Structure 1
Amino acid sequence: MYIRKIRRTLTFQEQYIAAQLITNKIIIINHIHRSARIAMFIDCDGEINTSLLIRTLLLMHKQIYLPILTGSGSKYLEFARYTFSTPLICNHLNIYEPKWNTSSIMPIEKIDVIFVPLVAFDIGGNRLGMGGGFYDRTLKNWKHQGHYIPIGLAHDFQKIPTQLLPVETWDVILPEIITPSHHVIVDDY
C-alpha cells in the first residue's frame, strides 16, 4: 500500500519529531494518568516510533505490556510484561517481542489501555492493519471483555477519506486514534 511506502521514507528526524509530539499528547490524557497497565507495540515498517513513549510511560511508573505470539499458529495476541531490562526476541513475523514466560503474561481483561498500530484510518475509527488480523481477532470483543480501551497510533498522513478505506465486517472500530497533531475520538463507541 502507498501509505506503507510513505512511512518507510520518513527520515530519522521526522520520526523523532513525530514521536515527541505524540508522546507529549498522550501523557496529558486523563485515562492514561489513571491507567496502571498499558499495552504498547514496538514499531516496525515505519510505524510511529514508540520507544520514547514506552520509556516515558515506564518512567511514569506504568506497567508496560507488549504483544506476543505464543506459537507459530497463534491467531491472537497475548501481552507480556516489559521493563527496561526485558530482553527482546524477534518472532516468526520478524517483529520484536519480549522474551516471556507464563508468569509475565497479563490477561487482556486486566489491561487498561491497548495502543494499536495501523496502516491507515478514517475519522470514524476504522483501521487498516498489516493484514494479519491479529489485533482485530484479539480486540473483537473489547467492549465486553473488560475495561480496557484500544487506541490507535499513527502519523498524520495515515488518515484517509472513509470511502477509500476498505472496511470488512470483522474489522474493529477504534474509539480513539492519536496522531502527532490530532486526537480523534469516535462519538458512537
Structure 2
Amino acid sequence: MSLTSPNDKPALRRELKRRRRALSAEQQRQAALALCQRLKQLPEIRRAKRISLYLPVNSEIDPTPLIPWLRKRRVAIYLPVLRPFSANSLWFVAYDANTPMIHNRFGIAEPCPRFAVQRRHRLPAWALDTLIVPLVGFDRQANRMGMGGGFYDRSLSFMRHPGPAPALIGVAHACQQVASLPVEPWDIPLTAVASDTGVVRPIKTG
C-alpha cells in the first residue's frame, strides 16, 4: 500500500486505529505516563498559561495525567467542544473538576451546552497558548492524519494568516507513526508531535 496516495487514506486510517486498539490497558497506561513526561519538557507546554487538551476515546493516547501538573502551575485548561449550529468546528471551553459534562454525538465527554454557550467560559482559539490535539497517524515531518472530519483544520483556519496563534502539539502512540503522509492544502501544520517514545518536529527548509 502506498502511504503517499490520498486514495489510501481511508485504509491507512483504519490500520492505524487498529494498531492503537491492539494495545492492552496496561500498555495504554504506561504510554500515557511516558507521553506526559515528554510533554512536560516541551517549551510550548512549559511556558503556556492557557492550554487546550482533550479527553480520550477509542484508544487515543491519554493526555489527562498532565492535568495535576498543569493545575500546580496555575495553567488554565480548556476542552474542545462541538460548536452548536456550525459545520464541523469547535469552541474551546474552560474545564475543571466542577465543569458540568455531557457526551456529544461521538461519545466524547465535553462541557454541557448551557455551560459552553456562556462567553465567559470560552476562549477564542487564537488566544490559547498551546493546543494538545489527538491524531490517528503522523510521520517524521510531523504531518498529521486526523479522524477525517476536519474539526481542527476548520477551527484553526485563521492560522493561515498573520496574527496571534497557538502552538499545536499533536499526540499519539508511537505505533501510529508512518514513514510519510499525504498533505492536503487545508491541513494546518503542527508545531510538533509527541508520542510515548519521542518528539518529532517539521524540518524547516529555506
Q: CA deviation at 1:39?
A: 0.6
Q: CA deviation at 1:154?
A: 0.6
Correspondence list, 1:21-170, <5 A: 21-71=34-84, 73-99=86-112, 100=116, 101-142=118-159, 144-162=162-180, 165-170=181-186
Distance across 2 between alignment mates of 1:114 and 1:124: 18
Structure 2: stretches of 5+ with no match in the other structure: 1-13
Percent of paired sites with the same residue: 34
Distance across 1 between alignment mates of 2:196 and 2:98: 28
SS at match of 2:37: helix
Aligned to 1:178: 194
SS at match of 1:71: coil
CA contact (8 A) 1:142 1:149 kept: no
Aligned length: 187
| Residue range with higher mean Cα deviation, 152-161 or 92-101 | 92-101
In structure 1, give the amino acid aligned to 2:165: H
CA contact (8 A) 2:81 2:111 kept: yes
Structure 1: stretches of 5+ with no match in the other structure: none
In structure 2, give the amino acid aligned to 1:159: Q
**Alpha-carbon displacement from aligned partner over 1:5-58 (angstroms, at most 9, x marks no partner):** 121222221111111111111112223221100010111111101221233322
Distance across 2 between alignment mates of 1:145 and 1:20: 34
Larger Rg: 2
Distance across 2 between alignment mates of 1:109 and 1:182: 27
CA contact (8 A) 1:126 1:172 kept: no
CA RMSD of aligned residues (A): 1.7
